[in-house]
Structure 1
Amino acid sequence: MENKKSVNVRYSNRPVKVAFIVPLADDNTQWILDGIFDEAYSRWGGIKSLLIPFSNDAFIPDRYLDWLEQYDPDFVYSYVDLTPEQINIINEKSLPIEMIKHEVHGEVERWNQFIPSWPYGFVPIRAISTISSPYAKYQGWSNETQPNMYITQHYENDEYRFLPDNFGISQGGGGSNLGRQNIFGTVCYCAQDLPIYNNVGDERCHSLAELLGRLSQKQVKTFSMLSSIHASMINHPNDYDWSNSFNLFVGDTAADRLNFWNSRLLSKNNEQHDFSALCISKSHLDDNNFLIALGTFINAHNFKGQGKGPNSLSLRSLSIAKEDCQQLAQQLQNYTHSHVTVPDKFDSPALPSERAFSDHYSIESGITSSLKVYERNNKFVVNEVEHFKYLTPDLYDFKTGQCVSNLQIEKPKENYEVVDGFNDWKLPRRLEATLAFTKNRAKVSRHGFITAIPDAPRQIFNGIPKHELTISLSIPNEEEVLQCLVLEYTHRIRFEHDMRIQLVTDKYYDLELSDKGQKHRGVISLFNGDLSHAGILANSYWRKIVRKSIGNEKESFSLNKLTSIIDQNTPVSLAHITDQMRLGNVGKTKQYLKNNLKDTIEYLVHQNILIQEYRWRCSYCGNENGLTLDTIKLDNNCSICNKLHKTPIDMEWKYKVAPFITSALIEQNGLTVLWAIDHLMDVFRRAQAFYLPEINLFKNREGNENNELDLLAVIDGKFVAAEVKLSAASFVDNPHEVAAFIDEIQRLSPDIAFLICEQYCQEQADIDEYKAKIEEITDNIREKVPNVEVKVIVANEIDSFTEVPIELGPYGERTHAFFERLDE
């Protein structure tokens, strides 16, 4: 950034978001869930991980795919083999930073072989790091010092699942689950005959009923609480059907356990922790002591309900018949004040409703930090996550691990001001786009911003672990971002250790602006880089003027001639302007257009688009002389015979289109391209858009094979490619053009591919024939590139292309004066 203009960067930190893909009909599914639950409870924010059920026959149900898309995970962690097609669907829905396949090495022997294993260089922050937070205390109870005892278990998770399923029993980190002196202790659920020399915690407990009782009295705490506090930045929809009642799942199946887990994601989301669901085995209901303790726990922790009535408890199951559930509900009612019901949809999967999706998903908001960046390449230290401030020096080892940072990076744009905000980069959902901005592991979020994992320090300094996390940040130009989307090496780099390596296809070796593209840039630069002003040359009024100038350098227009074009319009052809501008009658409409025309001519002259000339024919030699505003004098001489010519006081100015403009916009079909680009930028939101016009895409190092493309763009977060033709007939009748367009789309894989034509064909009689042909060819293209949205735009079917433009150009003094007189 040569001018050292600052770029504003805002970021907020949050826990990592993980979606696990779990096979529901697999011999190891229960062990898989054991492994996921064990790891997730020990990870900060892990309790908010999403579980996606997978079926070999039906893949993933659409509603789970929609939830995955809204959740926008950083990692997708799969316990199943996926086909390239399935990988592609998941990638398009969620675009994770990494898509990891769980590998079990050797024979499958134990549940803990299914504990998630993170990629090299990534260590998530542990839930135990929140232990000193005020939210780690039970809220709303006595202010006396609360016991800091956490539940653990010595039994294998897969044999006694109640505690590991519902509350978590592990601190994570690979060590033992012992407490730390003067900080916290552990109470371990274990067998009565466990030898005393086995150090399993500060206290032992041999009864689930007793542990539930202690939880009810808030004498012990859970790792699930630590996992959820300070993690409200991870959004999940608050669904009325699930959040207004405590949900008790009864059943031992994988489906019961998975849906119990997901049901908690649909309850309210705040900084504190509340228990909103439990999953119990049906056999637990035969234990009277357990039932009494369960009722006491629900009385102590269930505040969910409607109005002033009793709190509500919904009994659900995906494995037990409704009649049995109703019987269990009656049995349970004896032990709790909550009103126990079996909902009509007691066996429904835990999924958000459509309304919950629309109401409760927004851009994640944590504490935002801001910095100004002046250099092209930067490295900055990320602020510590908020809850680390509660850790005392003797707990600083809990500060290890990496958060995730949501970045919003300002995109400097000339001639554009954002009121009360920033014009941030809004990127297409492609991992490669992040390579232009950072070397960190990163993705593009569903809102078009960059989500990055800060790098953790690798070395220990003087025996003390360094906790500073860093993000490398580059400030690219628009062309560099588009290069990352197009060039082959960027794709291979990004998917090197990822399930998506199967999706990598041939891209392009290099790209460059063609001569036509450079001329287009020249035209835009004459308008100070403002495409919206350059676009006036493509409106119906100026387009005719520019086209009349082609091939005739002497073609010029007097002001009277330019004004007469307005007068030739009928009231009907100007009605849309009369109505929209509320001018009342066609006379005022024409006055408005004439004033706007003079302003526009003045503007175009000052931008060197129009050349203002005084022309006279020499009475002696017949030479036609032309003098511009800056060369005219009172006494002038013929450029051939040198005969004197005195400038008359009633001379008439003539206006002609600058030769560079006719060369760039007519000889190379640049006028249609200019209209197409301006139209697309206007249909979407212009400020977020950037593009390259008329480019050559090289397929190999030698550069002897290439595609030509009229437009490559990012518009409102969509990656767009467009081919622009003067007529559809020239495209349809040329099989090579069609094949090249398909090849371009296959290699680029844009979100939207446009074929834009000014008209169907030259002859009116042939329009229907070419309409049918273009439709047939478009269907054929869609079949060959099913993942790309293919659109056809025919300009002369669009009103704004053919109608008299509402504004001939920018408003100036004359136009403003006209409106002031109108108001009087």
Structure 2
Amino acid sequence: MWENSEHLTISGLARPLRVAYLVDLERDAERILDAIFAEAYGRWGGRRTLVVPVLATGIDSRYLKWLYVFDADIIYSFADLSDEAVAYLHETCGPAHLIKHRELSAKTGEVLRYDIQLPISSLLSLSVLPAFRARSWGFEGPPRDIKVLETYWDGSDTPFLRENFGFPFISYSNSEIAKKHPDLFTSTTLIGPNAYSDPMQGKDAHATYLTSESDVLSALGQAGGPLTLAQISDWFSPSWELCVDLRARYTHVVVGDSVDDRLAFWNVYQRLSRPSFWEIGALRIPKSYVENELLFSKVAALILQRGMRGHDGCVRVCLMSCSMDEECLGVISDRLKRSGISTIETLSISSHAVVVPPLNDQEKVTLHTGGMFAEPIQQVSAEFSSSRAPVPAAAPWHMTEAVPPAGLRHGQWMIDLTVDRALDHGRFDNQRDVWIFPRRIRLERAVRIDRDPTARRVEAVHSLRVIRTGSLALANEAGAPKVSISLPEDLAAIRRGLCETLEWVPFDRARSDRPRGRVRVAHAEVSDKGRYLMGVIGMFDSLSSAFNVLMNEFWREELQRLGGVPAEKATDLRNQLIKRLRRKFSQPSGPLNFSDDDAIERLATEALRAGRMIDRERRYVSYGQLRRRWGDSVEAFLAEASDGTEDPDADAYYRDDDRLARSLQRLCQCEVLFQGRDWRCPRCFNRNWIGIEALSRTMTCAVCAREEPASVKGDWQFRANSFLVEAYRDHGTEAAIWALWRLWKGWSRSFYYAPSLRLWRERPANDRTADIEVDAIVVVDGRVHLVEAKSAAKLDSNEIDQLITASKFIRPDVLVIACMDAETDGLKRAVEKLRSKLEVGVEVQLLTFDPGELEPGQFLS
């Protein structure tokens, strides 16, 4: 219902693949970090990879918020994780892949190698060089003689150069990559003296060979010196803006050899604003370099030439260490100052976690490009055709600016998708609902991705994930076949998520009992209560229109007068029944007693008779009555809003009863109300209702067929749709609508829901009673709300147990107790009991009814 496919769009934003590594710092961390740095340097955007330490008790809690904000597409773990930790990471971080490193057995006497195999192959960092070469970035024109630091395959690399700058040979395991693209770049290669003097080694004729680490440092410290993978891997790469409470335009120099020092060196880079092309954002200097005067002077000259500069044009350095005290850092600072670096700050940090950003306002952490690059964010849009749309082929800016050669454009990037919702529940005409998916229920499993079945790659299907903002993301690559996407209906998506058995790829592929998701239900279907809710809301043009009427103070009171009162609130009818029973059973006071079967049968008869009397009650209202009551509400509003002065024009606007007439017409058009006449037959005394569509000059009694001339006096009369009255009276529909309305008022960009559902733990056979029934599941801006809607302030122990069980299967973010009554002590105790028994991570929200929150009765839509 309400679907309008006109101008529904899907937009895609290209960005790098984001990878986070989990590392046990007590288990071969030095060599694992070597492997991580090498892999990251070879990947576009890889310099801003996050490394998270894992302790014996689990992931270091100081990094959890950063890991969530970082929003990794792949979480690659070198540490064991418990099943609960795996489930937690999937629910909070939502990676496309959370996998454990597979260790290959080493032969006797060999050292174990850490070959990282990401499940999604990333675009190479060297792919940015054609775009760099194609433009002028200064006054000298486009760069032509591009050199990249490399090492020869003879093992001549050094830990300092490998960690701080990277080598293509180590990152790509390919010594021929520079040879194949001499027109694009050449290499400045570190080579051992023996290999350099050996003519049989087959060296690259275009390369510049250097035989010592000192020579390499000298080359790097010269103007126009070679570029490094550490720099290139950050070029033209949208990244998170984390420049908070730290020196964003400083080169951060970490001194020391501890694992904490190495981890701080790597992660602090994400706190920096983007360096310019030749600037170096972070360095780690080992103690041996501090003690070697020659190498230290070379590093100082390198920092002076290529350190990050402030607005004054001077190099600025932040000197930090986890393993050295302030006094030692002060000595090193003095030595750097003597080399010409004037602005130096020292920072002795207690651990690697000092570089973790505070991230107090996570919503402000957004993707950005900056500095002298200022490349535009690559965003492409497409339109839906029916329920399907092509996935926008957004590509990284550097791939569109200058297409890399075939050998350098291999690999994938991610596309973040913003998708309009066909079923728009938005509150504002100028802001359309978009799809924002939760992570605690895998609704994205209901999204259909169609790709050419003959295509050579299908990674897009397996890389679909929900990013931190709730949008979808999937991988793409150059030359990939076109992909289309189909979005599900709300109810189908929520039912699929509740019954999904394969929520994620197994973490440890070596385990036979590896979990693939949380325990969910086997079957879900709409209950009778849910069908009534869908039917009532479906009478209106939109959800907003339904709320504007059903949650309007004036129309709510009129619907109650027309019979839409829940049984729990029908006080007058209850009192009438009790009075009748006391008279029938001759028990004028005290508790009513039904001591034998005959009394119980008479009780049942009287209850049935009372129910039939409700159906025979006269339930209509005249236009004059409506006009009078609405006019009274308008006058009360004007009296309250009056400041002692009169404004005839404004008062006339509010008193204009055409607004009431227009609202009545709309309600009759959508059959919430029926317009007609009620008349009593003078022969059989039957009360007849004649709708406006059946009016003629003659009226016929439905019982005795007596004909009467049509009445010529009196007002139009209106009665409520019997389906709506029944839904309100017998099925608690008003409480469910009110709960939806309260949540809808907190909507920002996305709102959708499933009505009351019956849930089975095992697939039902025949008509087996459901194990659980829930009143509604509502997704508001990606947060899952499990709703229990009550007409009265009661929540018994059985209902509490049902809600606890339901929350274990549904995994909501919020359990909402929505009570259309005043708060009572008993209700508060029940809510506290719920809070104490629910799993960690489930918030309990109590909503109680306040008539003053309803839409004002004088404003009718």
Q: TM-score range by the shorter chain?
A: 0.7 to 0.9
Q: How far apart, CA to CA, are the structure 1 residues paired with 2:709 and 2:543?
A: 40
Change (3 A) 1:267 1:141: farther
1:521-543 Cα shifts (integer Å, max 9, x gaps): 22222212435425633545434
TM-fit CA distance, 1:568: 7.0
Change (3 A) 1:638 1:809: farther
Q: How far apart, CA to CA, are the structure 1 residues paired with 2:60 and 2:504?
A: 27
Contact 1:547 1:666 in 2 (8 A): no
Aligned partner of 2:385 among 374, 379, 393:
374
Aligned partner of 1:161 among 155, 159, 162:
159
Aligned: 1:227 with 2:227: no
Q: How far apart, CA to CA, are the structure 2 residues paired with 1:372 and 1:149?
A: 44
Match of 2:189 in 1: 188
AA aligned opposite 1:477: E
Q: How far apart, CA to CA, are the structure 1 residues paired with 2:411 and 2:547?
A: 51
Match of 1:450 in 2: 472
Change (3 A) 1:660 1:340: closer
Contact 1:577 1:806 in 2 (8 A): no
Match of 1:559 in 2: 623
Unaligned runs of 5+ in 2: 370-375, 450-460, 564-613
AA aligned opposite 1:447: T
1:425-465 Cα shifts (integer Å, max 9, x gaps): 111125722222244121111111101123x6xxxxxxxxx
Match of 1:818 in 2: none
Q: How far apart, CA to CA, are the structure 2 residues paired with 1:206 and 1:141?
A: 33
AA aligned opposite 2:303: I
1:57-456 alignment, distance < 5 Å: 57=57, 59-62=59-62, 64-107=63-106, 113-119=113-119, 122-134=120-132, 139-140=137-138, 142-143=140-141, 146-154=144-152, 160-171=158-169, 172-176=171-175, 179-180=178-179, 181-194=182-195, 196=198, 197-199=200-202, 202-217=207-222, 218-231=224-237, 233-239=238-244, 241-269=246-274, 272=277, 274-305=279-310, 308=312, 310-343=314-347, 349-354=354-359, 360-362=365-367, 366-374=377-385, 376=387, 382-389=393-400, 395-413=405-423, 423-430=433-440, 432-439=442-449, 440=461, 441-454=463-476
> 1:100 is paired with a residue of what secondary structure?
strand
Range with bigger deviation, 266-275 or 656-665? 266-275
1:291-690 alignment, distance < 5 Å: 291-305=296-310, 308=312, 310-343=314-347, 349-354=354-359, 360-362=365-367, 366-374=377-385, 376=387, 382-389=393-400, 395-413=405-423, 423-430=433-440, 432-439=442-449, 440=461, 441-454=463-476, 467-468=479-480, 470-491=482-503, 502=515, 504-534=517-547, 536-550=549-563, 551-553=614-616, 554-565=618-629, 578=641, 592=655, 596-640=659-703, 645-685=708-748, 688-690=750-752
Match of 1:822 in 2: none
Change (3 A) 1:347 1:142: farther
Q: How far apart, CA to CA, are the structure 2 residues paired with 1:343 and 1:749?
A: 44
> 1:10 is paired with a residue of what secondary structure?
strand
Match of 1:764 in 2: none
TM-fit CA distance, 1:229: 1.2
AA aligned opposite 1:320: M
Q: How far apart, CA to CA, are the structure 2 residues paired with 1:576 and 1:788?
A: 46
Q: How far apart, CA to CA, are the structure 2 residues paired with 1:691 and 1:366?
A: 33
1:463-496 Cα shifts (integer Å, max 9, x gaps): xxx8325534123222222123211335367889
Range with bigger deviation, 659-668 or 363-372? 363-372
AA aligned opposite 1:485: G
Q: How far apart, CA to CA, are the structure 1 residues paired with 2:666 and 2:118?
A: 60
Quick one: percent identity of the two aligned structures?
A: 20
> 2:696 is paired with a residue of what secondary structure?
coil
Change (3 A) 1:332 1:512: same
Contact 2:320 2:329 in 1 (8 A): yes
1:85-119 Cα shifts (integer Å, max 9, x gaps): 43344334421111121122224977882242112
Aligned partner of 1:695 among 739, 743, 757:
757
1:709-765 Cα shifts (integer Å, max 9, x gaps): 111221222122212122232x32xx332222211110010111212222269xxxx
Match of 1:711 in 2: 776
Match of 1:815 in 2: none
1:228-281 Cα shifts (integer Å, max 9, x gaps): 1121x1224123522132211111111111111122211113785631121111
Range with bigger deviation, 415-424 or 397-406? 415-424
Range with bigger deviation, 287-296 or 134-143? 134-143
TM-fit CA distance, 1:310: 4.2
AA aligned opposite 2:688: N
1:665-703 Cα shifts (integer Å, max 9, x gaps): 222111211222222212324x62111212222322235
AA aligned opposite 1:681: W
Contact 1:724 1:756 in 2 (8 A): yes
Contact 2:309 2:315 in 1 (8 A): yes
> 2:503 is paired with a residue of what secondary structure?
helix
TM-fit CA distance, 1:413: 2.9
AA aligned opposite 2:385: Y
Change (3 A) 1:579 1:794: farther
Contact 1:237 1:359 in 2 (8 A): no
1:344-395 Cα shifts (integer Å, max 9, x gaps): 76977323244786655358972111222315456658354332346678x2
Q: How far apart, CA to CA, are the structure 2 residues paired with 1:402 and 1:198?
A: 34
Q: How far apart, CA to CA, are the structure 2 residues paired with 1:10 and 1:498?
A: 39
Q: How far apart, CA to CA, are the structure 2 residues paired with 1:356 and 1:517?
A: 38
AA aligned opposite 2:161: L
Q: How far apart, CA to CA, are the structure 2 residues paired with 1:575 and 1:68?
A: 55
1:618-664 Cα shifts (integer Å, max 9, x gaps): 44443433322222234434445555534454322222212121122
Contact 1:482 1:713 in 2 (8 A): no
Change (3 A) 1:36 1:628: same
Match of 1:800 in 2: 853
Change (3 A) 1:177 1:579: farther
Match of 1:25 in 2: 26
> 2:625 is paired with a residue of what secondary structure?
helix
Q: How far apart, CA to CA, are the structure 2 residues paired with 1:706 and 1:640?
A: 46
Change (3 A) 1:528 1:309: closer
AA aligned opposite 2:65: D
- TM-score w.r.t. length of structure 1: 0.85
Match of 1:10 in 2: 11
TM-fit CA distance, 1:799: 3.3
Match of 1:814 in 2: none
Contact 1:17 1:234 in 2 (8 A): no
Aligned pair count?
A: 776
Contact 1:133 1:387 in 2 (8 A): yes
TM-fit CA distance, 1:42: 0.9
Aligned partner of 2:813 among 744, 751, 762:
751
1:592-623 Cα shifts (integer Å, max 9, x gaps): 49665444333222221112232333444434
Unaligned runs of 5+ in 1: 457-465, 762-766, 812-824
Change (3 A) 1:414 1:282: closer
Change (3 A) 1:680 1:143: closer
Change (3 A) 1:223 1:561: same
Change (3 A) 1:640 1:359: closer
Contact 1:124 1:402 in 2 (8 A): yes
Contact 1:599 1:809 in 2 (8 A): no
Change (3 A) 1:799 1:110: farther
Q: How far apart, CA to CA, are the structure 2 residues paired with 1:716 and 1:144?
A: 46
Contact 1:711 1:721 in 2 (8 A): yes
> 2:495 is paired with a residue of what secondary structure?
helix
1:389-444 Cα shifts (integer Å, max 9, x gaps): 46678x21222111111111121235869767653211112572222224412111
Contact 1:379 1:471 in 2 (8 A): yes
